[in-house]
Each structure stands twice: as structure tokens, then as C-alpha cells.
Structure 1
Amino acid sequence: MIPLLKRYRVFLLMLVALGGLGYVNADLAARSLGHSVDYLVEMLLVIPPIFVLLGIFDVWVPRETIVRLMGGESGAKGTLLALCLGSFAAGPLYAAFPVAGVLIKKGARFSNIMIFIGAWSTTKVPMLLFEASSMGWDFMLCRLVMNLTGLMAIAHILDALLPEEHKALSPAGS
């Protein structure tokens, strides 16, 4: 019983906090609970299809292909592929992490994983088109160049500075 409580301690703490909020301000607690339920439903609609596609990807794409295209010796080709995969992906950012886990397992270079996650969060094509139409091409291009510069720098610095044991996919709970 104690390991189960330890595992869900953050969730239980949030429930206690929500209860305290409900005691102080019931309307705010109800809105907070409503938002939480909305996010949970959204996640339950997004995550299962992602895991199905990841299962197919894991079985159909050989490790050697990922190592060749995105591995340590892939160079600019791997960086460009990671950038394109992230930029053309659909879905919220939390969907990128299981994909990144499979890419790590299949031998993708750590910097390419970081570029993939960064591209997923900052350079999505629909977002760029929206920015260009609503804020202008100058703003969109300026933000894109700054994001790509920072993204590449951070990914390659992390790849160079982190020891290999920190780049590996570790088991959950360790």
C-alpha cells in the first residue's frame, strides 16, 4: 500500500490542494476541476493513436535505418530529418516524448532527439503560416531564425557536454 501511495503522492497532494481550494473558493475549484477533466479527455483522445503508430513504427522501421538516417554519423542529414519530423508533426508537445523515446531506443543521436522535440514545440508549419498571416512575414522569419539558432546551439552543446549514461533511455521509476 505504501509504494502505491508514494507513486501517486503528487496526484494525492493535488487532490488535497483542490479540496483546500474548494473550501476557500468553491467556484474556482469547480473551474479548476473542469479544466483538469478537459485536459484528461484531450490526452485520452491523443495518446492511444500515438502509441498505435509508435508500435507500428517500432516494428516496421529497422534500427539500422534510424541509425543511418539519424544516428551519430548522420550529420546534417539527421539534423534536417529531425527538424522536418518535428515541424510537420501533429499533436500537442506531450505526444513528442514517446516518439523521442522510440527514436532513442532505435539509436538516434541525442542532438537529433533534442532538435526533434524543439522543432515539435517551436517550428510547426501551421503555426508558422498563422504567424505570417497575422503578424507578418518579418516577425515569423525573425522568430524562426532565432528559434532554429537557439535550438541547434542547445542541442549540440547538450550532446557534447552530457555523459553517455545520461543520454540513454532509463527505465521508469529509476
Structure 2
Amino acid sequence: MTYVPYTNIAIGWSAAFGRCDVRVASKGNGRGSVVIDRTPASTFLIAMGSYRRARADDRIPGVLNGVAPGGLLAKRGWPGDGLRRDGRQTGCRLWLLEDAKQTEATRQAAIRYLDESIGQIATDHGHNYSVSATWTARGRLQASASAFGTIVSTPVVVGGGA
């Protein structure tokens, strides 16, 4: 396996704002420069935080009597995937767990969704990785991916976080 290095615009999580943003290094006088990330962290954050399009056999959250809310857009998905000719998709299907029950099957589904997303990236870059999902509170999973000592985690609200 040939290793392909990472080079991305750095993305950082802001707990205060509850979102990711581009990281900028201050240079003084109100100026700065975009930080370059040479770890898998930014790539993993983008993958874990982006919606991968639901498959035909996926149960869409909010479906009542087999009718999906939102019609065509209910399956969500990364807009750029429509331009890809290889059929591959960006993002993660963790969003499908929005109204799942807090069970071991749900935790295992989260691991499968992470493996699908992060595994594709790790294969492209030629390295090993690991993924995990742990219940941290009622209705809340902590989804994590790691490689090269870099760990990226994100909370996943399950069943409305009840």
C-alpha cells in the first residue's frame, strides 16, 4: 500500500459555536493566513459531518407509513457527488440514526457508517485506521475515527436525544 500524504485547508471544531470553520493563523494587524493541515483530521471532520446520500434500502428518518418527507431531497447527500463519474460518495450516513432507538444494533450501524466513510478515505491515502461509537448519554453516541495518532470525534444525536 502506497501512502499518499494529506494536504488540506485546516478545519477546526468550535464547541462555543457548535460548528466547524476554517482555521486561520493570526499574523498581527488584523491579518492572518489559512492553516494547512497535513493530518487526516480535517478530511475526517468533513467526511463525518457531511451527509452521504441514503441508499435505496435505507430507512429515512421521519418516514411515516413508507412516505418520506421532502420527496427527492429526503435522501440528502453531498452535492458534488452528482458530478462524480466513478459513483463514489462523500460523507457519512450517521444522519440516518436521527430517530433510531438506543440499542446495540444502532451503535453497530454507526460503526458501519463510519467504516464506509473513513475506510474509503484511508484506502485512498494508503493507511490503516480505526472507528468506534460509544454511548455517552441517553440518546447520544460519540462517533470517533483515528489514524496516525489523530482522533476525530463527533456527537451523534439518536432518537431526538430523549
For Structure 1 versus Structure 2, the TM-score category normalised by the shorter chain is 0.3 to 0.5
What is the TM-score of this pair, normalised by structure 1? 0.31
What is the TM-score of this pair, normalised by structure 2? 0.33
Answer 1 or 2: which has greater strand percent.
2
Higher relative contact order, chain-length normalized (CA < 8 Å, sep 6+): 2
Answer 1 or 2: which has greater helix percent.
1
